[in-house]
Amino acid sequence: MNINNIHPSWKSFFDSQIELAYFDSLVSKIDNARSSTTVYPPEDMVFSAFKLTPLTEIKVVILGQDPYYNEGQAHGLAFSVQHGVALPPSLKNIFTELKNSVDNFQIPSHGCLESWAKQGVMLLNDVLTVEQGKPNSHKNWGWEIFTTNAISQINFSCQNVVFLLWGGNAKTKSKLIDKSKHLILESPHPSPLSAYRGFFGCNHFTKANNYLISHGMSPILWELK
């Protein structure tokens, strides 16, 4: 895997993980998978979140599960898809909640969330790779250890981060987060199966910005051009 394009602020974290046995095993599994199957996202995009969002500038963390598994979708940012790709259902629901809760938000023609990442929104999946057409195919390969450690690093290194935990899987990470210096907002997952159980109307995007402003930080511009 290519870790040369991560932001320098993440280098010491990656150096610490590379030395651990689980990471060596994980890399071997993914290299073997790429030799015989199609794996998403492409190798140079696996760590996009760590390239676009410096550790020192994180304001919001949005946790996903694993990457989209169809061609051209996944590019290393949770919930985001590349330009020219149809919006997946969960992302449509995220945009619906934004339109209903954020003034002047217009549902965009694309689903690329890079502008969020560049503003300090860490779009982190729990598992960072997947086999084409097979959701959760790389579950329990070791990614969960990596992302747990990444969240712990954010918790330790940063102040006043808003963690948006959508769905049961994301909520399990709450125990890693110091509630005395960060804000945790929880809701059901935005997937069509659960969005109507409380994701719609959660108002997380406005609550996140209100928290950031109250701690002297600039809000996230959620609008996508």
The type of residue at 23 is F
Q: Choose among 96, 114, 92: nearest CA to 105.
A: 96
pLDDT > 90: what percent of the chain?
Answer: 98
Count of domains observed in the chain: 1
Q: Does residue 2 lie in a domain region? A: no
The type of residue at 204 is H
Tokens 């932001």 found at: 7
Q: Does residue 58 lie in a domain region? A: yes
**Banded model confidence at residue 3, pLDDT cuts 50, 70, 90:** confident
Whether the per-residue pLDDT at 225 is higher than 90: the answer is: no
Task: Compute the distance between CA of residue 14 and CA of residue 33 in angstroms, rounded to an integer.
Answer: 22
Q: What's the per-residue H, E or C state across 32-90? A: HHHHHCCEECCHHHCCHHHHHCCHHHCCEEEEECCCCCCCCCCCCCCCCCCCCCCCCHH
Dump pLDDT digits (tens) for 117-156. 999 999 999 999 999 999 999 999 999 999 999 999 999 9
Q: Does residue 223 lie in a domain region? A: no
Q: Does residue 224 lie in a domain region? A: no
* Residues noted as catalytic: 66
Q: Taking residues 63-72, report their average pLDDT.
A: 96
Q: Does residue 104 lie in a domain region? A: yes
Q: Does residue 97 lie in a domain region? A: yes
The type of residue at 67 is P
Dump pLDDT digits (tens) for 68-116. 999 999 999 999 999 999 999 999 999 999 999 999 999 999 999 999 9
pTM for this model (two decimals): 0.97
Q: Is 27 exposed, middle or buried (0-12, 13-18, 19+ CB in 10 A)?
A: middle
- The CATH number covering residue 125 comes to 3.40.470.10
**Banded model confidence at residue 4, pLDDT cuts 50, 70, 90:** confident
At 2 the pLDDT is: 80
Q: Does residue 86 lie in a domain region? A: yes
Mean pLDDT, the chain, whole residue set: 97
Residue spans of alpha helices (H) in 66-185: 89-101, 114-118, 143-157, 168-171
Task: Compute the distance between CA of residue 136 and CA of residue 128 in angstroms, rounded to an integer.
Answer: 10
Q: Does residue 221 lie in a domain region? A: no
DSSP state of 195: G
Q: Which domain holds residue 64?
A: 8-214
